[in-house]
């Protein structure tokens, strides 16, 4: 059901009102048998939860999502302290559905007279930095938006890449490798890594950290020992600790950044328009 995850906390609250005690510790007059039925329903699968909760406990039989939304509106009251619902918690990560990632472009590149490409891979296993290299695990962005992107902020047209059947790992991240291409007469193009960054994929409690991100770029090639340490640490806080150290090896390539999108595949229609589309 479309709205099961949305209505479950609200419905549970209504059930608790029926089976719990009042504020003055006087038990409510619900018969024991019906209270036991209310408790047993909590063990039902999500597939059955929708109809059972609404019909048996709240005397509701909505015919469609519109009626259900009307009921939700009657229960949720907006006040000055009401916060925006964080849709990151729409649903727990499901490996079969997977997640999507898009490298939309770079902003404020150091030299706008040369082209830039982006290579990225999951860490672990950090396939781009392994020998022999498994090209099936490395993704390349080089399809430039020649018509609309500025030389200082090159955009890519590849869009989302979907990762499926990836086991949840709270320290999983994507490493993005930024390279320039130098074209010289009578020689093959020369590729040079000028920077890198990372994007953590999951929250510690099992959700994809869906969002549009502007990530700082760090100078040079990513050190091998940092690649190995990221999977055994909370990636971003660990990286920020390294940046804060005196004489740190991890320095910002200012003011360059990467624009990326990350999306739980269970939320197909979100973030269809990429970041640069909002800024003509």
- Region 211-216 average pLDDT: 95
pLDDT score recorded for residue 25: 46
**Which tokens go with 36?**
């036991």
Of the candidate ranges 112-116, 182-186, 191-195, the one whose mean pLDDT is the lowest: 182-186
The C-alpha angle 192, 197, 198, rounded to 5 degrees, equals 135
pLDDT score recorded for residue 65: 75
Q: Across all residues in the chain, what is the average pLDDT?
A: 82
CA–CA distance, 116 with 214 (Å, rounded to integer):
17
- Region 120-125 average pLDDT: 97
- Region 171-184 average pLDDT: 94
Confidence band (pLDDT; 50, 70, 90) for 239? very high
On the question of pLDDT at 255 being above 70, the answer is: yes
pLDDT score recorded for residue 21: 44
- Region 138-163 average pLDDT: 93
Return the higher-pLDDT residue of 19 and 234.
234
Conformation bin of residue 126: beta by default, left when phi > 0, alpha when psi is -120 to 50:
left
Domains in the chain, start-ordered, CATH in brackets? 4-81 (no CATH), 99-278 (2.60.40.150)
pLDDT score recorded for residue 4: 47
Closest to 55 measured CA to CA, from 99, 110, 14:
14
On the question of pLDDT at 224 being above 50, the answer is: yes
pTM of the full predicted structure? Answer: 0.71
CA–CA distance, 239 with 243 (Å, rounded to integer):
6
Please, are residues 264 and 95 in contact by the beta-carbon 8 Å criterion? no
pLDDT score recorded for residue 164: 97
pLDDT score recorded for residue 186: 75
Closest to 194 measured CA to CA, from 215, 176, 174, 219:
219
* Residue the block writes with tokens 């955009």: 155
pLDDT score recorded for residue 59: 57
* pLDDT tens digits along 3-58: 444 555 555 555 555 445 444 444 445 555 655 555 555 554 454 555 555 555 55
Report in angstroms the alpha-carbon separations of 11 from 16, 68, 172, 263.
9, 11, 34, 28
pLDDT score recorded for residue 274: 58
Return the higher-pLDDT residue of 93 and 268.
93
């Amino acid at each position: 059901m479309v709205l099961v995850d949305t209505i479950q906390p609200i419905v549970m609250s209504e059930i608790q009102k029926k089976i719990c005690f009042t504020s003055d510790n006087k038990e409510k007059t619900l018969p024991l048998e019906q209270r036991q039925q209310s408790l047993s329903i909590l063990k039902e699968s999500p597939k059955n939860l929708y109809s059972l909760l609404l019909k048996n406990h709240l005397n509701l039989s909505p015919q469609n999502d519109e009626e259900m939304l009307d009921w939700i509106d009657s229960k949720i009251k907006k006040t000055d302290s009401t916060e925006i619902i964080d849709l990151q918690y729409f649903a727990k990560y499901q490996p079969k559905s997977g997640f999507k990632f898009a490298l939309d472009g770079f902003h404020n590149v150091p030299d706008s007279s040369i082209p830039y490409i982006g290579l990225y891979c999951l860490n672990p296993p950090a396939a781009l930095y392994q020998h022999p290299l498994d090209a099936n695990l490395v993704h390349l962005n080089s399809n430039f938006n020649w018509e609309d992107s500025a030389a200082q902020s090159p955009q890519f047209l590849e869009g989302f890449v979907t990762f499926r059947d990836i086991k949840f790992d709270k320290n999983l991240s994507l490493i993005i490798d930024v390279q320039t291409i130098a074209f010289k007469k009578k020689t093959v193009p020369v590729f040079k890594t000028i920077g890198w960054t990372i994007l953590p994929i999951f929250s510690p409690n099992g959700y994809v950290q869906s969002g549009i991100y502007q990530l700082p770029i760090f100078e040079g090639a990513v050190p091998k020992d940092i690649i190995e340490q990221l999977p055994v640490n909370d990636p971003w806080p660990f990286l920020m600790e390294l940046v804060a150290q005196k004489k740190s090896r991890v320095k910002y390539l200012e003011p360059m950044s990467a624009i990326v999108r990350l999306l739980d595949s269970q939320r197909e229609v979100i973030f269809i328009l990429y970041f640069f589309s909002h800024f003509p």
